[in-house]
Amino acid sequence: MWALTSTQGDDVRDALRAAERRTGLRFAAYLGPAIGPRRHFCERLHAALGEEADRAVLVFVDQRARALEIVTGTTARRWLPDAECRSAATAMAAVLGLGDLVGGLVTGVLLLADRAARCE
């Protein structure tokens, strides 16, 4: 996982907390390379959220590999179906493509929260 500055870490944590408050879902992020096959790794990270996994949204970003995954639990998927996640991922990728890791992640998390809030 890459080290973020204190301010960057605060920005990411603030976005995750804001998304959680707005939706009632659990949001988590992982920045760094996958260990093994990427999708399997992301699903294991999501499952590691334990009892919260059903209502959780995990955003995985490996900027070096230009990889992005969004994993949703069964309950979270009701508010964030695949099409909504793809749309948020597209917006994230545009910002990430400019080299703005934190901006891309914050953008994605807040878009996901906005889409989930509209579907409640």
Number of domains the chain is built from: 1
Residue 1 lies in a domain: no
**Structural domain that includes position 47:** 6-119
pLDDT value at residue 2 = 64
Which CATH number fits the domain that encloses residue 66?
3.10.310.50
Band of the pLDDT at 92, cuts 50, 70, 90?
very high
Strands 26-31 and 56-62: parallel
Q: How many CB atoms lie within 10 A of CB 25?
A: 24
The upper half-sphere exposure of residue 63, i.e. CA atoms within 13 Å in the direction of its Cβ, equals: 17
Residue 66 lies in a domain: yes
Band of the pLDDT at 120, cuts 50, 70, 90?
low
pLDDT value at residue 69 = 96
Using CA atoms, how far residue 80 sits from 17, 72, 77, 108, 111, in Å, is 17, 8, 5, 12, 11
